[in-house]
Amino acid sequence: MNAIDPRMIHRKLVFRIFLMGLALSIIVGAGVWQMEKNKIGQDILWDAKNGFKDFNRQIRTLLNTPGILNPDRIHQHLVLEMAGQRENQSGQFVSMGIYTLGGELLTLVTDDTYENRDLVREKAGQLDDKIQTYKTMKFGVIHIDDTPHMQIISPLSNDLGELAAYGETFFAVFPETLNHIRRKAIKLSGAAVLIVMLTTGLLYPMVVTLLNRVSSLSAKLFESNLEMLKVLGSAVAKRDSDTDLHNYRVTIISVKLAENLNLPKPKIQRLIKGAFLHDVGKIGIEDDILHKPGRLSEEEFTVMKNHVPYGMDIVGKAEWIKEATDIVGYHHEKYDGSGYDHGLKGDEIPEIARIFAIADVFDALTSRRPYKEPFSFKKTMEIIIAGRGSHFDPVHVDAFEKIALTLFETYSKKEDDALKTELADLLKEYFYC
């Protein structure tokens, strides 16, 4: 887990809330638009349906003898009906046709005042015996010159309630009705979008307040984790050599080498944790072996090797430092397989452990210890290069050779505080998003 950068989270939050508000607005706006269109569509249907029923009532008496319908009388009636039709709210009938029970077109009247009458005539009166398939009133919408026309087809009954003929009408929707639909739908959709945006805007400060609290807690948790890393590293350093400097330097040197090898950030994060805690298992090694000034006997060295499994055991107990395992468990492996604790060779050894091994040996050789003076840079590099392919990964040694002198000049004599500051900068760079 890295520390959360509140500014970055804030930017992400603003962007996501904006996207969410926009998506919601589009969904709600489109939904309202569709609902309003459907509602007004139902109003138009209601107008057309009632108009047709009214029309059926008006000609019912003329249909009392279904076998011998009088086309002229019905035609005259339809002409009168067309001329005096009740003005509907949403449109008007522009065509009325009557079919016999046999499906023959008896008469067709279109509104001569209607501008699209010719186009309507092309569509009307074309049903013939197909009309007989209409057992109840049916509706369809046909667009003529971009204007929706409701086609209504229905059986017609006479005064006796008998099926006496079939009727087909075209009901043209007024342009004003269409404009009204559009205006109303736009207004309602706009209102819906505004409400969603306002709600999102009102929620934003609340989310930011909560986020700030979470960021603050997260930062504290992260600081605690870093403190744990430092405390553990420092505890073992105090037991081993009375100083934290070795931990600081090997961490910085390892990171510099890893950067030179272009390792990705997550690997360098693991490298930092591992470098800090590489010898944490020495806490479990008894003083007379850990602090023995001279060379360890074979038995003593066997005991000393236990710091690796001890360390694995320690770092395995906490989630945040588990990532140190690669270095804690494998920093004494050698490239040719002669190291401990697992005898791994080559690429079997975790990459960051191979990198760390060079930094660890380099710093040990160039540092003053109770039992030795610091080696010169030249002698140290001779030893490192001699270990190329046996102790160390040859590719890593080649990369190290290019930066070793700069590292030596920069860090071998650097004071405690300066190293601390540089390490703090590294932690900031790699653990704060």
The residue ranges that bind Fe ion (CB under 5 A) are 279
Rounded to the nearest whole angstrom, what is the least distance from the CB of residue 238 to Fe ion in the complex? 16
Rounded to the nearest whole angstrom, what is the least distance from the CB of residue 234 to Fe ion in the complex? 16
Contact 54, 133 (CB under 8 A): no
C-beta closer to Fe ion: residue 153 or 361: 361
Instruction: State whether the Cα torsion 82-83-85-90 is positive or negative.
Output: positive
C-beta closer to Fe ion: residue 51 or 274: 274
C-beta closer to Fe ion: residue 168 or 279: 279
- Paired with 106 in beta bridges are none
Determine whether 265 is exposed, middle or buried from the number of CB atoms within 10 Å of its CB (0-12, 13-18, 19+): exposed
Determine whether 221 is exposed, middle or buried from the number of CB atoms within 10 Å of its CB (0-12, 13-18, 19+): middle
Rounded to the nearest whole angstrom, what is the least distance from the CB of residue 281 to Fe ion in the complex? 8
Q: How far is CA 7 from CA 2, 12, 208, 433, in A?
A: 15, 9, 11, 10
Rounded to the nearest whole angstrom, what is the least distance from the CB of residue 365 to Fe ion in the complex? 15
Token pair belonging to 336: 């040719």
C-beta closer to Fe ion: residue 287 or 417: 287
Token pair belonging to 246: 């070795």
Close Cβ partners of 432 (under 8 Å, ≥ 6 residues apart) = 2, 3, 5
Q: Compute φ and ψ for 310, nearest 5 degrees.
A: -60, -45
282 is catalytic: yes
Contact 269, 316 (CB under 8 A): no
Cβ-proximal residue to Fe ion, closest one: 279
Close Cβ partners of 293 (under 8 Å, ≥ 6 residues apart) = 370, 371
Rounded to the nearest whole angstrom, what is the least distance from the CB of residue 307 to Fe ion in the complex? 6
C-beta closer to Fe ion: residue 185 or 277: 277
Active-site pick, 256, 273, 282, 334: 282
Rounded to the nearest whole angstrom, what is the least distance from the CB of residue 356 to Fe ion in the complex? 10
Q: Compute φ and ψ for 90, nearest 5 degrees.
A: -105, -15
Long-range pairs of 376-381 with CB within 8 A, sequence gap ≥ 24: 377/404, 377/405, 377/408, 377/412, 380/408
C-beta closer to Fe ion: residue 29 or 311: 311
Rounded to the nearest whole angstrom, what is the least distance from the CB of residue 380 to Fe ion in the complex? 18
Q: Compute φ and ψ for 171, nearest 5 degrees.
A: -115, 110
Q: Which residue is associated with the tokens 């380099």?
A: 362
C-beta closer to Fe ion: residue 47 or 279: 279
Active site residues: 282
